[in-house]
């Protein structure tokens, strides 16, 4: 079994696409943005990515249908005034182990080489540790030029300011080593609920940077749905963890 | 050392067998079902599976005889009114690490390719977090058709409802990717004791689905035995963990 | 870097030797027995084993001299009335990760194939969770015949009695799969101090089984020394862990 | 992706250089020494080392510029009265996993073979668990001769004294196995703040051993800067950890 297995659904030609990472993380900000962009901008899924570094489970989706842990690649052609081609990566998970994170991100960048990625944007939440009013969007970038672009649209620039953990960090870091510029947009969020307001902030900054328009009306609704869905799922899993810890299946700690 | 090593005990020919997973997990529901089916239906062991991803230990069985951590493949021929051939996987453990879970399940499916598996059923417990009266059997499946079959026999369908962790999830997910349909039957269980009632529920639903008869009288007795045996074993292991943590063998945390 | 690297210090010919495992574990029972046998029976070190699965550190030994984490193979020729050849494995550590445990034990058995090991004995402590008067020696074995031999010398036989974790378990389990018989001797011990009395019990049972004589007078003294040495070392490491956790080196949790 | 990837920035010829390890660890003693030596002695960076065993993140540096996790090799030619050539390894991280530590250190030593390293010095902090007045410098070495050299300059020799964990230990241990002598200098430090005083102690002992002069005036200032920078970063990360644990992204525990 390879680090990642990619099922290509459609061979597609793209013009120096912008690569956008929006995988699940803090406050589900990235995932909310991804789901919303996919729906509103009619993104087309062209590849599915599986990995033994993902959590060892499946999800029970709507109506009892089982779903694999997955990352998905979508494309959007001719977006906005600059007629940009976009590749967006979304999904329901990230690699579980630290080295798995590196290996998966690196192999995805290997796969994307054929498209001549021009820039990378990674999206996520920045946890504040307390309730936030009027959440800001924070940013960082791989070079001064991109930092300037972020400043121009009033993204708050982080400085000497901790790490960007997971795919949002590694796509930028590994991209840098391949000579691809990138920026990160992080919506301020308490982090412990599905944060539509934070996601909206990130999405609007991204649309400014890439010069496209997007209706954010349904983001609240989407967040509400996600919240209900996840709340139930998380409750089940928490119960499972509690039971397993209290119970007598000591060497099967994480197995349901 | 390979991810799994398979000792084939008997070369067997089977007719598009149904593959049933019943490895130990929450409430030992899967394991109870497996042990009971093996005894009552005269299942024949035809392969033993070892793996360095299993817990790094042996078990002390009856009368001081040492047993390896193991997964075992059994077959049953011409079961029930539909004359089904069955392959059942049981054993005393599952892989310990997350990626080990993926690798082991995937390699077992590789091995089973020769048999042309027609369907997969995975069995386990669903922890409730509190005492259960009249435990229900919950289900999920890889496609709508199989969900319908579960509904017909009054299996409670889960929806947007967390994950199925470990072998019970991965055999279905990895099976889907190979084009094999599958379903999961999960008996509601508090999760912190050996639950014969939950196992009986799962077994009866399985027998309905596969159209065979099975006497469940001795399940209670079997649960009682398992309980006594495990209670002692777990007590020993818990003591070991307590000692080791309190003791002065810091870099040998999990070693007895 | 391979799973293990073996530096052979002396090419030696042995006559179907008995393989004895006495690596550090609960109560340092195994290690005490190993150190004592090596000294009293003039065992000769013939191979050193290193592994990246060992804890990522060195030890500061006497007078500030640095020591690698290591497993060591010793031989004893013509021991006791049966003129047995012995291979003993001792050292200052075991593999840290679960799969590392399997890989290391398996590769050591691969290396030992050349000697035609006749039997395996693994030695260790069995934690009781409370102070012990007149600690018993418990045992288990890979077959009935060996269990009988243990009974004959009044070793208490375990039954349905949890796991034997680490090298003491795996050498027996992996040995079984190679057709080599084995037994485990475990001295009852509170587990949280260096237990000379428990080690003496194990050593005397082993000498009965293998029909050799050994003076155990100095075991107390040796335990006292080990205690002083380890107490200091453990204190330092505990401080380090406390500091690191309290401190600000978050991604270097285990690094001194 | 290999265990390490080395980008060589300059081909350099060195005369049996001394290899100095000063990676981040307890009290940031090693890192402070490295940063100070690089600045004061005009060290030249000649190679960058990346690894999937490093923490799966990037850092946000000054003015929002993203930095990869990295180890860096510097050289200094003709240092001090003995005209020594020096290779110094610094950076912002160490490998995260235990076996990663071994693999990274071993591959770095492989790369350094071409330079015929004559001696190794590893630098770090030794946590005391409480405030320290007049912090001592402790030492250990791979052989008696080097221990004597440490004694001559009043380094406190450790004895039977726990482990040296991480790169500071492994470069010495793996170096020993290649026949390279080495010593460790560890500055006593409470461990929970950036300790310029401890770093100064270590640096002065090193300058005595290698017979060079270095101005330590700016060490305090450097420590102050590091403190401010890290305090902020750590606060962010701690918040993230708190949020993630409290939040509902259970399978993304370490992902921001």
For C85-133, how does the pLDDT look when each residue is reduced to its tens digit (9 = 90+)?
999 999 999 999 999 999 999 999 999 999 999 999 999 999 887 888 8
pLDDT at D190 > cutoff 90: no
Q: Which chains touch C (3 or more CB pairs under 8 A)?
A: B, D
**Per this entry, what is the length of chain A?**
256
Q: Report ipTM for this prediction.
A: 0.89
Q: What is the pLDDT of residues B167-180, one digit of tens each?
A: 999 999 999 999 99
pLDDT at C250 > cutoff 70: no
Task: Band the pLDDT of B232: cuts 50, 70, 90.
Answer: low
Q: What is the pLDDT of residues D50-104, one digit of tens each?
A: 999 999 999 999 999 999 999 999 999 999 999 999 999 999 999 999 999 999 9
What pLDDT is stored for residue D236 in this prediction?
52
Q: Please answer yes or no on whether B160 and A53 come within 8 Å at the CB atom.
A: no
* Nearest alpha carbon to residue D235 among D223, D227, D245: D227
What pLDDT is stored for residue B228 in this prediction?
66
Cα separations in angstroms, B33 against B203, B209, B216, D142: 6, 15, 10, 58
d(CA C233, CA C238): 9
DSSP B115: G
| Paired tokens of A26 | 């803090």
Cβ atoms of C118 and C17 closer than 8 Å: yes
What pLDDT is stored for residue B199 in this prediction?
92
Query: Which string of DSSP letters, residue by residue, matches chain B?
Result: --S-EEEE------SSPEEEE--S-GGGHHHHHHHHHHHHTT-EEEEEEE-TTS-SEEEE-GGGBEEE--EEEEEEEEETTTTEEEEEEEES---SSHHHHHHHHHHHHHHHGGG---EEEEEEEEE-SS--SS--EEEEESSHHHHHHHHHTTPEEP-S--EEESHHHHHHHHHHHTT-EEEEEEEEE-SSS--HHHHHHHHHHHHHHHT-----TTHHHHHHHHHHHHHHHHHHHHHHHHHHHHTT-GGGTT--
DSSP C55: -
Would an 8 Å CB–CB cutoff place B225 in contact with chain C? no
Q: CATH topology for B5-247?
A: Rossmann fold (3.40.50)
Of residues A82 and C228, more confidence is placed in A82
* Nearest alpha carbon to residue A32 among A186, A229, A187, A196: A196
Residues of A in contact with B165 (CB under 8 A): 55-57, 240, 254-256
For residues A141-159, average pLDDT: 96
Cβ atoms of D194 and D226 closer than 8 Å: yes
Q: Please answer yes or no on whether C25 and B250 come within 8 Å at the CB atom.
A: no
d(CA D164, CA D143): 16
How many other C-beta atoms can be found within 10 angstroms of the C-beta atom of residue B134?
A: 7
Question: C46: buried, middle or exposed (CB in 10 Å: 19+, 13-18, 0-12)?
Answer: middle
Cβ atoms of D192 and D234 closer than 8 Å: no
Residues of D in contact with C256 (CB under 8 A): 25-26, 124-127, 163-166, 168-169
| Paired tokens of A155 | 């993204």
Cβ atoms of A173 and A180 closer than 8 Å: no
| Paired tokens of B216 | 């469940």
Q: Helices (DSSP H) in A18-120: which residue ranges?
A: 29-40, 98-112
* Nearest alpha carbon to residue B147 among B136, B135, B159: B159
| Paired tokens of C92 | 């200052």
Which of C3, C66, C95 best probes binding to D when mutated, by most D CB atoms within 10 angstroms? C66
Residues of D in contact with C252 (CB under 8 A): 24-25, 93-94, 166
d(CA D115, CA D20): 13
Give residues with Cβ within 8 angstroms of A83, minimum separation 6: none
Task: Band the pLDDT of B229: cuts 50, 70, 90.
Answer: low
Which of C251, C253, C254 best probes binding to D when mutated, by most D CB atoms within 10 angstroms? C251
d(CA C39, CA C34): 9
Closest-CA distance, B7 to chain A, in angstroms, reads 21
* Nearest alpha carbon to residue C123 among C5, C221, C23: C23
| Paired tokens of A251 | 């060497």
Q: What is the pLDDT of residues A12-57, one digit of tens each?
A: 999 999 999 999 988 789 999 999 999 999 999 999 999 999 999 9
Domain ranges of chain D: 5-242
What pLDDT is stored for residue A250 in this prediction?
34
DSSP D82: T
d(CA D48, CA B2): 34
Which of A94, A99, A256 best probes binding to B when mutated, by most B CB atoms within 10 angstroms? A256
| Paired tokens of B36 | 């009971």
DSSP A155: P
> What is the residue whose two structure tokens read 């939950």?
B198
pLDDT at A231 > cutoff 90: no
CATH 3.40.630.30 fits D5-242, yes or no: no
Q: Write b or e for each residue in D45-54: b if 16 or more Cβ atoms lie within 10 A of its Cβ, otherwise e.
A: ebbbbbbbbb
Q: What is the pLDDT of residues B126-144, one digit of tens each?
A: 988 788 888 899 999 999 9
Residues 146-165 (D) with a CB less than 8 A from some CB of C: 147, 150, 157-165
Task: Band the pLDDT of D152: cuts 50, 70, 90.
Answer: very high
CATH of span C5-252: 3.40.50.10900
d(CA B125, CA C138): 35
| Paired tokens of D121 | 């010095």
Q: Please answer yes or no on whether D249 and A24 come within 8 Å at the CB atom.
A: yes
What pLDDT is stored for residue D133 in this prediction?
84
Q: What is the pLDDT of residues C199-245, one digit of tens each?
A: 999 999 999 999 999 998 888 787 777 666 665 655 555 544 444 33
* Nearest alpha carbon to residue C28 among C160, C225, C179: C225
What pLDDT is stored for residue C253 in this prediction?
30
pTM of the model: 0.90
Q: Which chains touch A (3 or more CB pairs under 8 A)?
A: B, D
Q: Which CATH architecture has domain A5-217?
A: 3-Layer(aba) Sandwich (3.40)
For residues D157-184, average pLDDT: 94
Of residues B224 and B185, more confidence is placed in B185
Closest-CA distance, B6 to chain A, in angstroms, reads 17
Q: Please answer yes or no on whether D249 and A26 come within 8 Å at the CB atom.
A: yes
Would an 8 Å CB–CB cutoff place C225 in contact with chain D? no
d(CA A12, CA A35): 21
What pLDDT is stored for residue A225 in this prediction?
72
């Amino acid at each position: 079994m390879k680090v990642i297995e990619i099922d290509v659904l459609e061979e597609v030609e793209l013009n120096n696409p912008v690569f956008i990472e929006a995988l699940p993380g803090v406050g589900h900000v990235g995932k909310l943005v991804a789901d919303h962009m996919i729906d509103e901008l009619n993104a087309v899924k062209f590849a599915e990515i599986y990995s033994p570094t993902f959590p060892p489970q499946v999800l029970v989706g709507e109506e009892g249908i089982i779903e694999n842990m997955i990352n998905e690649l979508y494309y959007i052609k001719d977006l906005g005034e600059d007629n940009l081609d976009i590749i967006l990566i979304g999904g329901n998970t990230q690699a579980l182990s630290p080295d798995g994170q590196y290996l998966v991100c690196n192999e995805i960048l290997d796969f994307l080489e054929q498209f001549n990625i021009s820039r990378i944007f990674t999206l996520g939440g920045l946890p504040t540790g307390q309730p936030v009013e009027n959440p800001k969007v924070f940013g960082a970038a791989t070079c001064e030029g991109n930092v300037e672009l972020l400043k121009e649209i009033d993204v708050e620039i982080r400085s000497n300011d901790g790490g960007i953990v997971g795919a949002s960090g590694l796509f930028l870091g590994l991209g840098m080593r391949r000579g691809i510029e990138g920026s990160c947009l992080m919506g301020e969020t308490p982090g412990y609920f599905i944060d539509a307001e934070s996601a909206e902030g990130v999405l609007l900054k991204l649309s400014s940077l890439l010069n496209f328009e997007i209706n954010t009306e349904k983001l609240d609704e989407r967040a509400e749905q996600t919240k209900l869905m996840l709340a139930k799922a998380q409750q089940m899993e928490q119960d499972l963890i509690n039971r397993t810890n209290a119970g007598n299946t000591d060497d099967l700690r994480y197995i349901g």
